[in-house]
């Protein structure tokens, strides 16, 4: 789709796209596509006050009615899927199918949240005192700031916002400064849902635009009850302590360094397909991208040979073309970091296949690279870092215990997987002594999670959980209630206090 009609279809008017100080460019060719206004520091207190006022009204709206707004959002997203997916491709550089997949993920979480709006269950608990009843109730928590990364420019907002809205919270979104247009378009889609809904409070969902300093104002405010921040571990190190200092609630979704163990019994055809998709998909720019391959020595050489062949056949180029599987990196700085990491891998004894800059047959001005395989002598310093690019480090192992130790011996703890047909290995990998990650899979790759499960990771990945399962509890506060329906006042633990 041409850019001008795409912008028009998503309500991105020339006035919104020009005259500001934040330049926005497309990773496809590096060309500027907009200059938009940023949210000034002086505006932030008003934004937060509006969110507080909206929250006070919204928390009184029955949860199933709140779910109706999210149902309408899902409908509007379905109607705008093609356009929003195309804008994700234009602004973040994802291939067309992944741009659409990201919008599908938004639709899926809306569906999930609509059901959830009738299932915000608390427990009832047996009381030790006669004539007493105990229970838990879950209440709306307050405004929720959602700070997002460039690589999932819209889905991460929806994971948070769909849940926060049914949970009764107001939402303030600070998207990546690299991808503000997809956020603005999403707010326009939401505006259609709000108009159909009718009586949602003004300021229920707001958007603030700018870099870290705009995020910092949200992080620092006591009136922002929840800060859900997705991005690098560096960002989480800055955000986490500041939220903790004011006893706010943080949901941190930070960097990953995800591994696959390939055991001797593995179905190698399946493993190769899973490896290529999870290491190369989104040009290696997913938090769950496969970055470390831990292959048994008996099959490592064969696996590398098959991967080198598969990598050589991957169509690299314009992400809008239907045949492209590897689009551009987000910018030239990301490509420079990839090349530097490969240089370090060589210096640490690695043998690198691929990893060169691509300039032929691709749009000029974008940062296109061949995905790289780096066969390493061990888990060296560079392997333990997350480089946000399509680099797959390959290591060997002899014993299964050694493979698990390698898998766990990195600072990050997001996603992991094993390819094996051996039941003992599979179950051990999933057990308390196996993978230490928030996501552990058997015979599928580490990337491409479904929304039904709780998403997030341990250690330097930050410990937050979003999306499915009971992740909604992070957006509400829990009250434990005891009701005495007897005519006596017994104390717990048999304590007496007679006077
Ligand atoms: P980034 O850390 O550069 O930026 C992420 C967001 O944080 C941006 O909106 C940025 O403006 C904001 N920010 C940065 N410093 C801040 C501060 N001090 N206070 C408040 N806000 C601040 O990350 P990126 O380059 O956009 O994204 C890539 C990174 O995100 C990778 O490390 C990737 O693994 C991670 N990521 C993690 C998940 C997950 O769910 N675990 C999902 C997507 C991306």
Residue pLDDT, tens place only, 364-401:
999 999 999 999 999 999 999 999 999 999 999 999 99
- Distance of alpha carbon 9 from the chain centroid: 26
Separation between Cα atoms, residue 395 and residue 384, nearest integer Å? 12
The pLDDT assigned to 149 comes to: 98
Rounded to the nearest angstrom, the distance between the alpha carbon of 232 and the centre of ligand 1 is 4
Separation between Cα atoms, residue 374 and residue 327, nearest integer Å? 20
CA dihedral sign of residues 110, 115, 117, 120: negative
Helix axes 81-92, 63-79, angle to 10 degrees: 70
Please choose from 98, 231, 232, 253 the residue to mutate so as to test ligand 1's pocket, defined by most ligand atoms within 8 A of CB: 231
**Distances in whole angstroms, Cα of residue 27 to Cα of each of 19, 82, 322, 480:** 21, 19, 17, 50
Q: Is the CB of residue 76 below 6 angstroms from any atom belonging to ligand 1?
A: no
Separation between Cα atoms, residue 406 and residue 376, nearest integer Å? 13
Q: Is the CB of residue 163 below 6 angstroms from any atom belonging to ligand 1?
A: no
Contact by Cβ (8 Å): 104, 112: no
Contact by Cβ (8 Å): 468, 112: yes
Rounded to the nearest angstrom, the distance between the alpha carbon of 150 and the centre of ligand 1 is 7
Separation between Cα atoms, residue 447 and residue 276, nearest integer Å? 11
Please report how many Cα atoms fall inside a 13 Å half-sphere around the Cα of residue 15, on the Cβ side: 1
Contact by Cβ (8 Å): 254, 235: yes
Please choose from 149, 244, 245, 336 the residue to mutate so as to test ligand 1's pocket, defined by most ligand atoms within 8 A of CB: 149
Rounded to the nearest angstrom, the distance between the alpha carbon of 485 and the centre of ligand 1 is 51
CA angle, 113 as apex, 112 and 117 as ends, to 5°?
125
Q: Is the CB of residue 258 below 6 angstroms from any atom belonging to ligand 1?
A: no
Rounded to the nearest angstrom, the distance between the alpha carbon of 402 and the centre of ligand 1 is 32
Residues of the chain predicted below pLDDT 70:
none
The pLDDT assigned to 2 comes to: 87
For the entire predicted model, the pTM comes to: 0.98
* Token digits of residue 92: 């973040």
3-state secondary structure of 133: strand
Q: Which residue has its alpha carbon closest to ligand 1 atom 8?
A: 176
Q: Is the CB of residue 152 below 6 angstroms from any atom belonging to ligand 1?
A: yes
3-state secondary structure of 419: strand
Please choose from 158, 209, 232 the residue to mutate so as to test ligand 1's pocket, defined by most ligand atoms within 8 A of CB: 232
Q: Is the CB of residue 147 below 6 angstroms from any atom belonging to ligand 1?
A: yes
**Distances in whole angstroms, Cα of residue 487 to Cα of each of 125, 140, 387, 422, 493:** 20, 33, 66, 62, 19
Rounded to the nearest angstrom, the distance between the alpha carbon of 236 and the centre of ligand 1 is 8
Q: Which residues are catalytic?
A: 253, 287
The pLDDT assigned to 418 comes to: 98
């Amino acid at each position: 789709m041409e850019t001008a009609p795409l912008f028009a279809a998503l309500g991105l008017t020339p006035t919104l796209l020009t005259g500001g100080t934040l330049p926005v460019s497309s990773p496809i060719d590096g060309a500027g596509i907009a200059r938009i206004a940023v949210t000034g520091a002086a505006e932030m207190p008003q934004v937060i006050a509006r969110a507080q006022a909206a929250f006070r009204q919204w928390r009184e709206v029955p949860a199933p009615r709140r779910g109706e707004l999210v149902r309408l959002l899902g409908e509007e997203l379905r109607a705008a899927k093609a356009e929003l997916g195309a804008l994700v491709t234009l602004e973040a550089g994802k291939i067309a199918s992944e741009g659409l997949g990201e919008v599908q993920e938004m639709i899926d979480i809306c569906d999930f949240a609509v059901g959830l709006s009738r299932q915000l269950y608390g427990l009832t608990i047996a009381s030790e005192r006669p004539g007493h009843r105990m229970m838990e109730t879950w209440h709306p928590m307050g405004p929720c700031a959602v700070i997002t990364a460039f690589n999932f420019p819209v889905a991460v907002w929806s994971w948070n916002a769909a849940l926060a809205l049914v949970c009764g919270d107001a939402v303030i979104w600070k998207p990546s400064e690299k991808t503000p247009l997809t956020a603005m378009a999403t707010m326009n889609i939401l505006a259609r849902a709000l108009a159909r809904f009718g009586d949602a409070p003004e300021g229920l969902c707001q958007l603030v635009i700018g870099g870290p300093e705009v995020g910092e104002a949200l992080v620092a405010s006591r009136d922002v009850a929840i800060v859900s921040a997705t991005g690098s571990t560096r960002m989480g190190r800055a955000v986490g302590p500041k939220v903790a200092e004011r006893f706010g609630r943080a949901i941190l979704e930070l960097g990953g360094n995800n591994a696959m163990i390939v055991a001797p019994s593995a179905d190698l055809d399946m493993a190769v397909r899973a490896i290529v998709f999870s290491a190369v998909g989104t040009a290696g720019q997913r938090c769950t991208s496969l970055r470390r391959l831990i292959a048994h020595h008996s099959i490592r050489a064969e696996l590398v040979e098959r991967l080198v062949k598969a990598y050589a056949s991957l169509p690299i180029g314009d992400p809008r073309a239907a045949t492209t599987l590897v689009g551009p990196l987000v910018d030239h700085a990301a490509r420079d970091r990839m090349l530097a990491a490969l240089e370090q891998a060589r210096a640490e004894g690695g043998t690198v296949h691929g990893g060169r800059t691509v300039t032929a047959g691709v749009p000029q001005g974008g940062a296109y690279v061949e995905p790289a395989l780096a066969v390493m002598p061990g888990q060296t310093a560079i392997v333990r870092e997350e480089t946000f690019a399509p680099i797959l480090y390959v290591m060997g192992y002899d014993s299964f215990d050694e493979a698990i130790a390698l898998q766990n011996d990195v600072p990050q703890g997001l996603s992991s997987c094993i390819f094996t047909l051996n039941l003992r290995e599979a179950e051990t990998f999933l057990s308390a002594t196996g993978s230490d990650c928030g996501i552990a899979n058997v015979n599928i790759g580490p990337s491409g999670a479904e929304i039904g499960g709780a998403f997030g990771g341990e250690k330097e990945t930050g410990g937050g959980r979003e999306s499915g399962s009971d992740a909604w509890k992070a957006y509400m506060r829990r009250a434990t209630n005891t009701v005495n329906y007897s005519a006596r006042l017994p104390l717990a633990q048999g304590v007496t206090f007679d006077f």
